[in-house]
Every structure is written in C-alpha cells, then in structure tokens.
Homo-oligomer: A and B are copies of this chain.
Amino acid sequence: MLLSVLYIIGITAEAMTGAMSAGRRKMDWFGVMLVASATAIGGGTIRDILLGHYPLGWVENPQFLAITCIAGVLTTGIAKWIVKLKGLFIRLDALGLIVFSIIGTKIALGMGLHALICMVSALVTGVFGGLLRDLICRQTPLVLHEELYASVALASSGLYLVLINFSVNDVTATIITLVAGYTLRMAAVRYNWRLPSFNYDTETPFH
C-alpha cells in the first residue's frame, strides 16, 4: 500500500524528467509521451521481459501508462517551474530509485530466483528507464559516469534481501530499506561520491 503510493509518485516524477529531455530534442507531444513513459515504466518493462514475468505491469494496469503520458504532457506547460524545482526532483528521483529497487527485488524473489538475480532485477527496474531515455534522446547515459546511482539500487536490494533473510517482516524491511537507500543516494549527490571510472583512450575502437 505504502509502496503503491510511492510507486505512483515515483513514476510521475520520472515521467516529468523524461519529458524535460524530450523538450531538449524538440520532440512533439507523442515524443514527449513516449520518452516520459519509457523513463518511468521502461525499467520495469525490461525487467519483466528479461524475467519472463507476464503480463507486464502497465498492460495489466493501463492507468499507470495513462499517468505517465499525462504527466509528460503537463510538463510541457510547466517546464519553467520544473527547472526551478530541481532540488525537489533530485529528492523524488532518489525516492523513486529505492521504490523501484524494492519492487524489482520483490518480484524476482516472488519468482523464486537467485539472490544475485533479485539484485539485477532491482538494478534493471531502477536504472534502465533512465538508460532508455538517454538512448532515445541520444544523450550519453548519465548513470554510467555520475554519482553513485546503480550502486544504490544494488545496495538497497541487498539490504532488503538480508533483512528478509533474517525474518524481518516485509513492512519493516521496506521502510528500513527506503530510509537507508534514500540517505545513501542523497549523500552520494551531496558529497559527489562516484565509482572509479575507466578511461582508456585508444585511437581506434578495440573489437
């Protein structure tokens, strides 16, 4: 229940960031809805396809798709205000990341999959929507060289799995993971924590 409310907040915020990227590419309303939806529910879609977990969430509950399309189009009218709310969006995005990660973990867990795959499921749910957005808008995916992001999804998923494994009840495990994951992500943004990066500048591609 808590997770459902947070999920709707999360996809709305992600849809709006997707729409902003579409605006930088001068897309029309269809493009805006496409990028908004891909950003918000693309991660969950790719997860379900990889796990063979049918029907997809938005196919079963089309209202989620309607929400992301409406949020995307609304964004075109209030873009100036959204830019000023960047601080809020960073917080909502952090919240969405943890919510998506917990949902991804729970779905894989419910299918009886290996803990490593549960963590991959969290990662895909939390991160691949933004990757899709950057791919469609032809931006270099920020998640691949910015502050800790994918790592936060993995860490949150791992924490949730440990808690469940120690027989902590689901609601408590969810709340602890939400608080810890959100705190980790916001700390990473504030203190600019990054993974080591790999910069190998060969003249020609190495294949």
Task: List the interface of chain A (C-beta within 8 A of B).
Answer: 17, 19-32, 34, 45, 49-52, 54-56, 59, 62, 65-66, 75-76, 79, 82-83, 86, 89, 93, 113-114, 116-117, 120, 130, 135-136, 138-146, 149-151, 194-202, 205-207
Of the candidates A27, A32, A66, A149, the one having the most CB atoms from chain B within 10 angstroms of its own CB is: A27
With A30-B195, A76-B198, A150-B30 in contact, do A25 and B62 touch (Cβ < 8 Å)?
A: no
A57 vs chain B, min Cβ distance (A): 11
Given contacts A50-B59, A59-B117, A139-B205, contact A144 B197 (CB under 8 A): no
Residues of B within 8 A of A144 (CB): 22, 25, 27-28, 30-31, 34
Q: Contact: B195 with A26, CB < 8 Å?
A: no
Q: Which of B45, B76, B201 contacts A50 (CB 8 A)?
A: B45
Q: List 26 A-B contacts (CB under 8 A).
A: A22-B144, A22-B198, A23-B199, A23-B200, A25-B145, A26-B145, A26-B198, A29-B198, A30-B143, A30-B149, A30-B151, A31-B143, A32-B198, A34-B150, A45-B50, A49-B50, A50-B59, A52-B56, A62-B114, A62-B120, A65-B116, A65-B120, A75-B198, A86-B206, A138-B140, A139-B205
